[in-house]
Amino acid sequence: MSDVIEMSPIGVIHSAFDEKFGIPRQPGLTQSLTATVELLPPYGSPEAVRGLEGCSHIWLLFLFSATAEQGWKPLVRPPRLGGNKRLGVFASRSPFRPNPIGLSPVRLLGVREQNGRILLDVSGADLLDGTPILDIKPYLPYSDVIADAQFDLADRIEKLTLPLHWSAAAQAACDAYSQRLGQPLATQIGELLTYDPRPAYQRDPERVYGLALHGLNIRFRITTVAIDILSISEAEPATPIAE
């Protein structure tokens, strides 16, 4: 067995997620958000993706590039478990792994060629913009669907049932940016905030957060009675923003 294996990215994803904060905690939650996998030369050719268009879903194997240099620890605190309970790294999908490979199933919307590049449009991806892709595999229903699989510690992500309250300014900005970007921004923001991006240990209803999306900064607050979307503007500072 060789001790070191060398891998190279076969592609890169272009997504609306400019920062780690706000990325859904599991793939598949935000189907209104699309992303595009660009295959890099020499991997991107019409031959290499032949037949892929018949595939409803694909696996993205990717490099947790944003956190890869931070290394790994045997125990992690998965956000879904409230950040208090520690789990073994191999019992989690934490990015802080010995080999920082991520695995996400996404819906394949289409395969196209543009300027000699092969592009795969997908939805439900939970990848940071610019994430290097290591492999793409078809999702094979007969082997990948394990209907009786169970994992007690991994509860479904809880969805907030609070109403969305848009400030007048946020609403106007949302309409304008939706048109400019050609994106269903209101739906996307609603989906993202409904899954509560706040850290589990930090649920201060007064605190204002900034969500980076499509290069925009979406300021919001989650109180006990509503999800308040306060403003939407061109992004600049790092998030979360405490005020």
Question: Rounded to whole angstroms, what are the CA distances from 224 to 52, 91, 174, 227?
Answer: 45, 33, 24, 8
What does the alpha-carbon distance between residue 229 and residue 167 come to, in Å, rounded to a whole number?
6
Q: 2 CB contacts (<8 Å, ≥6 apart)?
A: none
| Collapsed DSSP state (helix, strand, coil) of residue 120 | strand
Q: Does 116 help bind a copy of itself (rule: CB under 8 A)? A: no
Q: Which is nearer to a copy of itself, 89 or 162 (CB)?
A: 89
Q: Which is nearer to a copy of itself, 99 or 223 (CB)?
A: 99
Q: Does 4 help bind a copy of itself (rule: CB under 8 A)? A: yes
**Token representation of residue 199:** 């850290």
Q: Which of residues 11-40 bind a copy of itself (CB under 8 A)?
A: 12, 26-28, 39
Q: Does 144 help bind a copy of itself (rule: CB under 8 A)? A: yes
Q: Does 84 help bind a copy of itself (rule: CB under 8 A)? A: no
Q: Which of residues 163-222 bind a copy of itself (CB under 8 A)?
A: none
Q: 178 CB contacts (<8 Å, ≥6 apart)?
A: 184, 185, 186
**Of 115, 142, 206, 234, which lies in the binding site for a copy of itself, with binding defined by CB under 8 A?**
142
Q: Does 149 help bind a copy of itself (rule: CB under 8 A)? A: yes
DSSP letter (8 states) at residue 95:
S
Q: Does 7 help bind a copy of itself (rule: CB under 8 A)? A: yes
Q: Does 147 help bind a copy of itself (rule: CB under 8 A)? A: yes
Q: Does 134 help bind a copy of itself (rule: CB under 8 A)? A: yes
Q: Does 132 help bind a copy of itself (rule: CB under 8 A)? A: yes
Give the count of residues interacting with a copy of itself (CB under 8 A). 75
**Of 71, 98, 110, 205, which lies in the binding site for a copy of itself, with binding defined by CB under 8 A?**
98
Place of tokens 């706000």: 22
Please return the burial class of 234, using the count of CB atoms within 10 Å of its CB with bins 0-12, 13-18 and 19+.
exposed
